[in-house]
Chains A and B, each alone.
Chain A
Amino acid sequence: MILLDRVTKKYTRSEGEALHRISLHVDPKEFVIVVGQSGAGKTTLLRLLTCEERPTSGKIIVGGIDYDKLKDKDIPQLRRKIGVVFQDFKLLPNKTVFENIAFALEIVGASNREIKSTVPKVLALVNLRGKENNMPRELSGGEQQRVAIARAVARQPRILVADEPTGNLDPKHAWDIIKILGKINRYGTTVLLTTHNQDIVNKLKRRVVTLQGGKVASDRARAGYKA
């Protein structure tokens, strides 16, 4: 589902490499946690997957799409296939909860009827029924993150990428988010989660990829993690 082959990323303005010859293979329906300290390259890895950044060298193939052959104008198409959740939620501030989720569906050309039936379903999935007409600023951090997840899964992507989704949340809300991600994974979506929260990693008992200084330090199934 996700294949990285000796991927290196060097930012033009910084000295070293953010990622150095990373190779990673993720199967369909897998749940993978990427851990590592700040600056280890977790965010860069995810930004490469969403094509916010292009690799300096190496090959990336996601869901059968070879990024080398991806032109700028095809990037929107790619992003529609990947659900993304961010640490800072990235909800559209001038849109209601309903409109935020509807927007993700509008850009893939969903009909009004599809939107009206899908949005309540995904809001139910993240336990947010009844908040349709609230603006993002009226919600707590945990609620905003759940809206963001609902938005990411509304299009039923085969891959969900979550970049420290619990980073700004207290432990209780963080665990709510993780449970929702687990639920989505059970429905058949490949989930790639980055975090540096060792409690979450140790409780989940999933495959853990540890990044250190831009390299893969370890890659173990059902592993724990000590920060």
Chain B
Amino acid sequence: MKRKVITLWRIIHTGIVNFIRNFSLSMAAMAVMVVTLTIVLFSVITNAAFGNTIAQVTNKIGISVYLNNSVSQSQTQTLLNELKTLPNVKSVKYQSQAQVLASYEAQNASNQNLITGAEEIQNPLPATILVQPNNLNYIRNIKAFLVRPNIATLQADPPSYSGSQEAAINKITRATNILREIGVATVVVFAVISALIIFNTIQMAIFNRRNEIQIMRLLGATTGYIRGPFIVESIVYGIISGVISVSIIYFLFVASSNALQASSLGILNITYANKYFDNNFLILLTMQLVLGIVLGATSATIATRRYLKFKTN
């Protein structure tokens, strides 16, 4: 037990000493890791910001159900309850005729003609139920319920999710789906590319020192004792690079958000990106550290393997 602790300590100590003695090589490897890890973090945050923008668009989409004036209060209540029990319904909101008129007037406050017109013919607007779906992709389920004959008779007009509006909503849904997929794919692609680059960098660093590995082998060192310090060294790269990448993103998003907001043409919601970074700081930091450590350690393990092999021919 005590011997294992001493061995572990020697491995860690050697790894850190090597890190310092090979400073120029360490710096080069870390620079590459910092760049790739920063790109991954950046893509994660921008993806979240885009996701938020998309959510803002899709949250505005719902189905309006226009009720007949003859529908009684109890019928309305039954319908509301039924709608609430449907799957994929996030919220159901009832607006009486007066409320609908009030919001119509508010929307058209600049056009007095429309308002007086609506009032003259004694509020032609029907009472309305606003149905918000959880997921736009399954909005048809709600529509299918609304067009059932017994439900359809309660309605003055077909629900808003019909005809040209239905087509428009479907297009938005498809577009937002594609955008979301592109976002996720971008993050995955960057993560894979960065893993490959980091692996190659560490492989080069170890290739430079393959003689050392072979000498240690000749002296009778075990695989673990040779490989250990290389893994420790790569883990140190990973930790430092992870911290630096988070700092870079911090300065990019938090410290210079005004400049960024101006130059991003409003495509990227910097305020949200800031908030996302702040709220998820610990998770993002952990993600970067884990990414750096795991990639570093795995790369070092794989890269040392070929120089540790015994000849058996």
Q: State which of B212, B225, B312 has its C-beta within 8 Å of the C-beta of A107.
A: B225
Q: State which of B3, B218, B312 has its C-beta within 8 Å of the C-beta of A72.
A: B312
Q: Does A53 contact B (CB under 8 A)?
A: yes
Most chain A C-beta atoms within 10 Å of own C-beta, residue among B216, B218, B219: B219
Q: Does B247 contact A (CB under 8 A)?
A: no
Q: Does A52 contact B (CB under 8 A)?
A: yes
- Per the 8 Å Cβ criterion, residues 76-98 of A in contact with B are 76-80, 84, 90-94
A76 close to B18 (CB less than 8 A): no
Q: Does A30 contact B (CB under 8 A)?
A: no
A76 close to B221 (CB less than 8 A): yes
Interface size class on chain B is: 20 to 34
User: Given A52-B218, A103-B219: A75 and B310 within 8 A (CB)?
Assistant: yes
Q: How far is the CA of A133 from the CA of B220 in the complex (A)?
A: 24
Which A residues touch B21, using CB under 8 A?
Answer: 94
Q: Does B305 contact A (CB under 8 A)?
A: no
Q: Does B6 contact A (CB under 8 A)?
A: yes
A76 close to B222 (CB less than 8 A): yes
Q: State which of B10, B22, B220, B310 has its C-beta within 8 Å of the C-beta of A77.
A: B220
Q: Does A106 contact B (CB under 8 A)?
A: yes
Q: How far is the CB of A14 from chain B (nearest CB, A)?
A: 12
- Per the 8 Å Cβ criterion, residues 188-233 of B in contact with A are 209, 211-212, 215-222, 225
Which B residues touch A34, using CB under 8 A?
Answer: none
Q: Does B313 contact A (CB under 8 A)?
A: yes
Q: Does B311 contact A (CB under 8 A)?
A: yes
* Chain A residue nearest to B223 in the complex (CB): A76
B220 close to A80 (CB less than 8 A): yes
B6 close to A111 (CB less than 8 A): yes
Q: How far is the CA of A93 from the CA of B213 in the complex (A)?
A: 11
Interface size class on chain A is: 20 to 34
Q: How far is the CB of A108 from chain B (nearest CB, A)?
A: 8
User: Given A107-B225, A109-B3: A72 and B220 within 8 A (CB)?
Assistant: no
Q: How far is the CA of A158 from the CA of B181 in the complex (A)?
A: 67
A84 close to B218 (CB less than 8 A): yes
Q: How far is the CA of A50 from the CA of B3 in the complex (A)?
A: 27
A107 close to B219 (CB less than 8 A): yes
Q: State which of B18, B218, B221 has its C-beta within 8 Å of the C-beta of A90.
A: B218
User: Given A107-B222, A107-B225, A109-B3: A92 and B22 within 8 A (CB)?
Assistant: no
Q: Does A173 contact B (CB under 8 A)?
A: no
Which A residues touch B313, using CB under 8 A?
Answer: 12, 53-54
Q: Does A104 contact B (CB under 8 A)?
A: yes
Q: How far is the CA of A108 from the CA of B222 in the complex (A)?
A: 10
Q: How far is the CB of A80 from chain B (nearest CB, A)?
A: 4
Q: How far is the CA of A111 from the CA of B209 in the complex (A)?
A: 27
Q: State which of B10, B209, B211, B312 has its C-beta within 8 Å of the C-beta of A106.
A: B10
B218 close to A50 (CB less than 8 A): yes
* Chain A residue nearest to B209 in the complex (CB): A94
Which B residues touch A54, using CB under 8 A?
Answer: 311-313
Q: How far is the CB of A45 from chain B (nearest CB, A)?
A: 16
Q: How far is the CB of A63 from chain B (nearest CB, A)?
A: 13
* Chain A residue nearest to B3 in the complex (CB): A109
Which B residues touch A77, using CB under 8 A?
Answer: 220
Which B residues touch A109, using CB under 8 A?
Answer: 3, 7
Jot down 5 A-B pairs with beta carbons below 8 A, ordered by A.
Answer: A72-B310, A75-B310, A92-B215, A103-B216, A109-B7
* Known A84-B218, A94-B21; 16 more pairs at CB < 8 Å: A50-B218, A52-B311, A76-B217, A76-B220, A76-B221, A76-B222, A78-B220, A90-B218, A93-B211, A94-B22, A94-B209, A94-B212, A106-B225, A107-B216, A107-B222, A108-B220
A-B pairs, 7 with minimum CB distance = A79-B220, A80-B220, A107-B221, A76-B220, A72-B310, A90-B215, A94-B21
